[in-house]
Chain A
C-alpha cells in the first residue's frame, strides 16, 4: 500500500508570493491533517480535513488555508508569504477523524524556503 505522498518536496519562494502544497493520503484514509514544523516551534497543527470538510483548525492566520477533494487528496495554500513561513510542512492521513483514532501516517514533507 502506498504511503502518504507530498508534492513538491522542496520549493523556494519570495516574500509576498503564494504557494500550494499537495498531499495524497493512504488509500482508504479519509482524514488529512497538516502540520508546520520549525526548529523553534516544533510541530504545530494547522488543520484537519475529513470528508471534504475542515474539522479542526490550529492557531494560524487566515493566510493559511486548505481544502480536501472527494478522493481525499488535500491541498494547503499559503498566501502573501512571509519569511517566518519557511518550514517543513507535513501532511498526515488517518483512517478516521483524529479525535477517534489519534494515529497519523505522515508524508515526508514539503520544505518551503521563503527568501
Chain B
C-alpha cells in the first residue's frame, strides 16, 4: 500500500531564509506526486505536481520540488520565503499507473506547518 511521510510537523523560519519541507513516500508502483498548500480556513490548493519527465518541477510562486526515485522522496524547497508563505503544506501520492480499487485515490501526508517570522 502507498503511504506518505512528512518528516516535520512544524517548520519555523525567518523571512527571506531558505526552507525545505521533506516528503518521503512508499509505493511499489509508479506514482504521481503532488504538493498542496492550505491557508487558514481554506481548502487545499495544488502547488506543484510531478507526473513524468523532468524530475525538477516548479511552481509560479518560487517553490520547487525534486522527484528522487532512488530515495523515494519529493522534498519541497524555496530559496527565500515570505510572510505570505505561512500555511500548511501537504505532500500527496497517487498510483498513476494503477487500475481502480483502493489504490485509485490520493494519499496525503499529515502536513507540515510552515511558519514564517519577520
Contact = CB atoms under 8 A, between A and B. Distances in A.
Nearest to B96: A102
A107 interface: yes
Contact of A45 (B51, B101, B106, B110): B106
Given A55-B100, A56-B100, A108-B43, A102 B108 contact: no
A105 B43 CA distance: 9
Centre residue among A45, A48, A92, A103 by max chain B CB count within 10 A? A103
Contacts of B90: 42-43
B107 interface: yes
A102 B49 contact: yes
Interface string B81-112: 00000000010001110111111111111110
Nearest to A106: B43
| Contact-residue bracket for chain A | 20 to 34
A109 B43 contact: yes
By secondary structure, the B interface counts as mixed
B46 interface: yes
A100 B42 CA distance: 26
A102 B34 contact: yes
A43 B108 contact: yes
A90 interface: yes
Nearest to A3: B43
Contacts of B96: 99-100, 102
Centre residue among B100, B101, B107, B111 by max chain A CB count within 10 A? B100
Contact of B104 (A35, A56, A92, A104): A56
B44 interface: yes
26 contacts: A4-B43, A33-B106, A35-B108, A42-B109, A42-B111, A45-B105, A56-B104, A58-B102, A58-B105, A92-B43, A92-B44, A98-B94, A98-B106, A99-B94, A99-B95, A99-B98, A99-B99, A99-B105, A102-B32, A102-B49, A102-B51, A102-B94, A103-B32, A104-B36, A104-B106, A108-B43
Interface of A: 4, 33, 35, 42-43, 45, 48, 55-58, 90, 92, 97-100, 102-109
